[in-house]
Structure 1
């Protein structure tokens, strides 16, 4: 039985073509690709790539300036934060929430719109595996090219479950019987007709949006469509901690707001969504709301 795509690159001795993450004495990271006969250069000296080829992970190498660097393969969160970018990447904290809360399972049939630099695509491909499918749509050809290179660099070549299309989802979507749809775009409400037709009953749509205006308009569009359950929305924040002897305290900086996540499930055909029992707060749908909804985000 063959290993899943990319698994062989995640264990064993370092090989030519592997991504290596070096950590210096101050905790700074440097990522590069192993090539036979090449040298890694820093302002603290250099060392040959050949010194790492065939060595186990966790090896310490020293430069000609006698500075020690710890060599490990980058974890996926490290990789996506250091890879070349066209558009901003989906942060690991949000990608983890999407994989978990959107219930991306092995073998799932997933559609993604808004590929950006390929960070979320890489997470999704690892989750669905070789037996699943990920169909990604990106309207900008330059972003799609960057995303393809980043994904293939991580997996060591093309992933058998991935199909990347340049174009708008609502104009090019051909998939049906889809389990999950992930929308990382400015106006996800424009895609709801296509998404609703593609999703299986019980399937889930997950939207990643940056502003409250986008979130509000997407929620109301999902409600008005009447083929989805009541939407749920949230955001996550991650705070690291300083650990030094008895000096244990929160770090001064944290990863705060990056975006909102919004999910809803596809109802069975012909089923009316249950009426909401919650009474809107006074002014929730007043003139200010109508003005914001009319302008919307573009």
Structure 2
């Protein structure tokens, strides 16, 4: 790793310290003039997006004409190009939220609104050791790798080899090659998890409650389990299973919705469409070994564990 000198000033005093100079994986593809191999996102006058990869000698074609890729190679981001039909397109690199929504899919992607919540509420930090189960198309894996950085670790587990192959292609296309912090295993997490001293575990799968024992053994005390589930029945069973397991604190559960607004002069109103329910998120923290979670003071709602309840703990006499 190359080192350079960084000047620091505080309290009227100045000194020099060594700072790492090498760029994190993929950083060079996020700044500077457009290069061959870069992803480019074009925006037309109606706000529609078109994404392609720059190749020397190739042309981009639309029903409004074409223009050569060479016109963008070496040009700065924010350049406007015109087709042979004299239609102007704004050229920028796609942001990560744009990329994951347009990349090839095997399974449904984790939407940016949920990925952002996972990064924040699961407290994914640079250098973190993270385990992920359920890779899908690689959307969340890409967000997680950007957060943990080259010095972190992301070990992803995916049951389906075809999904894993698509996810690997999407992740490597975004970073420009293999990421040094990523390891991808094809198989079930509960059967293959060998990682220890893990800081965070993210479960995007059908039955996360089946993995609690393996996850509990892998997480460090204070580590965070975060689960992403689609239905209320999955949410309820996961939460109750975490409570019953006894090695986690009281889980928190929520969902997020995003509504954009139309702003034009005095016409300020919410848009007619919004990104509503995509899934539920929940988090819980690993307790120290041998510690029992404190009893909850809040009493369950009347009937919450009545005769019709058949989930975890249904035979424990709760009511």
Same fold at TM > 0.5: yes
Q: Is the 8 A contact 2:240 2:312 kept in 1?
A: no
Question: 1:290 offset after TM fit, Å?
Answer: 1.2
Question: 1:189 offset after TM fit, Å?
Answer: 0.2
Q: Is the 8 A contact 1:4 1:129 kept in 2?
A: yes
Cα distance in structure 1, aligned partners of 2:53 and 2:267: 37
Structure 1 pair 291–109 and aligned structure 2 pair: CA distance change class (3 A): closer
2:272 matched to which residue of 1?
A: 252
Aligned match for 2:67, one of 40, 47, 61: 47
Cα distance in structure 2, aligned partners of 1:287 and 1:116: 37
Alignment of 1:210-221 (within 5 A): 210-221=230-241
TM-superposition CA deviations, 1:75-101 (whole Å, max 9, x none) = 000000000000000000000000000
Q: Is the 8 A contact 1:40 1:47 kept in 2?
A: yes
TM-superposition CA deviations, 1:204-243 (whole Å, max 9, x none) = 0000000000000000100110000000000000000011
2:35 is aligned with 1:15: yes
Aligned match for 1:280, one of 287, 300, 303: 300
2:150 matched to which residue of 1?
A: 130
Q: Is the 8 A contact 1:217 1:293 kept in 2?
A: no
Question: 1:293 offset after TM fit, Å?
Answer: 9.1
Compare CA radii of gyration and give the structure with the larger one: 2
Structure 2 gap ranges (5+): 1-20, 315-319
Normalized against structure 1, the TM-score is what? 0.97
Q: Is the 8 A contact 2:109 2:138 kept in 1?
A: yes
Q: Name the SS of the counterpart of 1:287 in structure 2.
A: coil
1:146 matched to which residue of 2?
A: 166
Structure 1 pair 43–177 and aligned structure 2 pair: CA distance change class (3 A): same
Q: Is the 8 A contact 2:240 2:311 kept in 1?
A: no
Relative contact order higher in (CA < 8 Å, ≥ 6 apart): 1
1:191 matched to which residue of 2?
A: 211
Cα distance in structure 1, aligned partners of 2:311 and 2:192: 31
2:45 matched to which residue of 1?
A: 25
Normalized against structure 2, the TM-score is what? 0.91
TM-superposition CA deviations, 1:17-68 (whole Å, max 9, x none) = 0000000000000001101111111111111110000000000001111110
Aligned match for 2:93, one of 73, 76, 90: 73
Alignment of 1:87-102 (within 5 A): 87-102=107-122
Cα distance in structure 2, aligned partners of 1:241 and 1:268: 45
Aligned match for 1:207, one of 227, 230, 250: 227
Structure 1 gap ranges (5+): none
Cα distance in structure 2, aligned partners of 1:117 and 1:286: 40
Richer in helix (by share): 1
TM-superposition CA deviations, 1:183-215 (whole Å, max 9, x none) = 000100000010000000000000000000000
Question: 1:287 offset after TM fit, Å?
Answer: 2.6
Question: 1:292 offset after TM fit, Å?
Answer: 9.8
